[in-house]
Amino acid sequence: MTTATWNPERPWRGIMVATALPLRDDLSVDHDAYAEHVARLIAHGCDGVVPNGSLGEYQTLTDDERARVVRTAVEAAGDGARVMPGVSAYGSAEARRWTEQAAEAGCGSVLLLPPNAYRADERAVLAHYRDVADVGLPVIAYNNPIDTKVDLTPALLARLHADSGIVAVKEFSGDVRRAYEIAELVPGLDLLIGADDVLLELATAGAVGWIAGYPNAFPADCAALYHAAVRGDLATALPLYRSLHPLLRWDSRTEFVQAIKFSMDLTGRRGGPSRPPRLPLTAESRAAVRTATEKALADGHH
């Protein structure tokens, strides 16, 4: 199902789901379940997928697993332009190799953190993005200063756009005020919603895409929420947002992978366990996710 927000010229726009990766009980990757999941997301109104992000537990995958996940996503999506692999790594050499693999697989764009084990200064950040952008695929910068300790401020994003041609930013800082400064400093850069629980705020501030978590469990109603928000239909968006927000806010918590996977299990989609170092949810967190998920189901969300 193609939506009005997506087009192959700018394939990073629209709802790009940061896909959870179904694992079997022995913690092996269930590639068949993953392919079914990707196809289901697109059939229910999502525009594409982002494999090998944090939600896809890329840090715990072998090189062979990580490469196969990308190939599986491309085949299941039916169009490589709809696939935006995460290519984050310790340094630009490894990130560049993953970007080359994405290009070989036919992907339309890639998502890149700053160096994720080194508190890089501005000069190092610029070099990192320049090296990866040289591969030739459109690069979406991922600003997650909470985890990387490197903040892609609006001013730095403007430099990255001018220097390496990044096309968009996944903004996860939680500071919705940045949307307006980014638009002022670098109007050619697309703003993508990076955290589920600020979706409405960033959509009304001009975001043109959502790299999303909870559509893994509730794709159709999350798609309806996004489309209403970006067209300014608050009468439709606000009730949906209020109803789903108890789930959406889990996307900004440390246990977001386990929470979203548990919601997938509760809604009949294979989420399964997570690999260490992630442990199962505590009994308290599990009960909270169950309550919020069951309430969403009772409210008719799907």
Q: Which residues are part of the catalytic machinery?
A: 142, 170
DSSP secondary structure letters along the chain: ---TT--TTSTTSEEEEE----B-TTS-B-HHHHHHHHHHHHHTT--EEETTSGGGTGGGS-HHHHHHHHHHHHHHHS-GGGB--B---SSHHHHHHHHHHHHHHT-S-EEEPSPTTS---HHHHHHHHHHHHTT-S-EEEEE-HHHHS----HHHHHHHHHHH---EEEE-SS-TTHHHHHHHH-TTSEEEE-SGGGHHHHHHTT--EEEESGGGT-HHHHHHHHHHHHTT-HHHHHHHHHHHHHHHGGGGSTTHHHHHHHHHHHTTS------TTPPPPPHHHHHHHHHHHHHHHHTT--
CB-based contacts of 286: which residues, under 8 Å, 6+ apart? 262, 280
Burial profile 265-274: b = 16 or more Cβ within 10 angstroms, e = fewer: bbbebbbbbb
Q: Which of 71, 13, 10, 76 is nearest to 42 (CA)?
A: 76
Vertex 65: Cα angle to 44 and 130 (nearest 5): 85
Distance separating the N- and C-terminal Cα atoms of the chain: 16
